[in-house]
Amino acid sequence: MTTPLLEATDIHRTFGHVQALRGANFSVMPNEIVALIGDNGAGKSTLVKILSGADRPDTGSIRVAGETMHFGSPYDAQQAGIATVFQDLALAPDLPPAENLFLGRELVRPGFAGRLGFLDRRAMRERAAEQFQRLGVHLKSDRVAIETLSGGQRQSVAIARAAMWAQRVIILDEPTAALGVVQTQRVLDLAKRVRDQGISVVLISHNMPQVLDVADRVQVLRLGQTVANLDASSASVDDLVREMTSGTAEEAA
């Protein structure tokens, strides 16, 4: 059997009296898009924060390519090859796309005689253009500030940035929630291209037809527990909704 790129086992996380996660399991295999679904409050964002190093589980384990990890920060997760695009994207609105790709990792040309260097904007623009080209992201101009781009273009820049620095997995938290039909399709196509380049994708979405269209596998959280792991090619929207909701009323009572 293939070893998962990223695997979480029996994760528990409590906030005060709220058991946000109480037995969540999750895995991502090489070359796949996995959707993580569940009703509001099911624990998706909590699990994503744990997988991306932004929060720590009370109990449970995380393995990357078979090796147990204890992420102390998102930086640790990135070092392990996992990058997350959170809903607010965390782009710098006043910088152009290329510089956003290098945010925090700017290329610097050495200065004379060991003096502080200059930002190598040309090298960043060239490497960014390669990355956009590779992923089929077409921006009207790569010199304008991010804030002048559309929501879909900004999402594409954020995904291209994650895919540039992640070796193994990118996690997308509701990447199309604020987008129109055409932009949504572009972002989903981009997710598929990222997968086809060898980086697996975790997709959080409330849009069930979209989940079935783009994902290879679907994992369902209900009230903090993983309740189903379905092959997207043989599941229906009804199946997904049933897994998300069945028994919820009694259990929550």
Ligand X SMILES: Nc1ncnc2c1ncn2[C@@H]1O[C@H](COP(=O)(O)OP(=O)(O)OP(=O)(O)O)[C@@H](O)[C@H]1O
Binding residues vs Mg ion (CB under 5 A): 44-45
212: Cβ contacts below 8 Å, ≥ 6 apart: 218, 232, 235, 236, 237, 240
Contact residues toward ligand X (CB under 6 A) are 15, 18, 20, 38, 40-46
Closest distance to ligand X from the beta carbon of 127 (Å): 34
28: Cβ contacts below 8 Å, ≥ 6 apart: 4, 5, 6, 7, 34, 169, 200, 202
Q: Which tokens hold the place of 241?
A: 């909704």
| In contact, 232 and 217? CB cutoff 8 Å | yes
Nearer to ligand X, 131 or 225 (CB): 225
Closest distance to ligand X from the beta carbon of 43 (Å): 4
Closest distance to Mg ion from the beta carbon of 45 (Å): 3
Answer with the entry of ligand X, Mg ion, none that 184 interacts with (C-beta below 5 to 8 A by kind). Answer: none
Amino acid 163 reads A
116: Cβ contacts below 8 Å, ≥ 6 apart: none
Nearer to Mg ion, 40 or 141 (CB): 40
In angstroms, the CA 118 to CA 107 distance is: 8
| In contact, 21 and 224? CB cutoff 8 Å | yes
Query: Hey, how many other C-beta atoms are within 10 angstroms of the C-beta on 14?
Result: 14
Answer with the entry of Mg ion, ligand X, none that 15 interacts with (C-beta below 5 to 8 A by kind). Answer: ligand X
Nearer to Mg ion, 45 or 183 (CB): 45
Closest distance to ligand X from the beta carbon of 31 (Å): 26
Nearer to Mg ion, 36 or 82 (CB): 36
Answer with the entry of ligand X, Mg ion, none that 69 interacts with (C-beta below 5 to 8 A by kind). Answer: none
Nearer to Mg ion, 99 or 243 (CB): 243
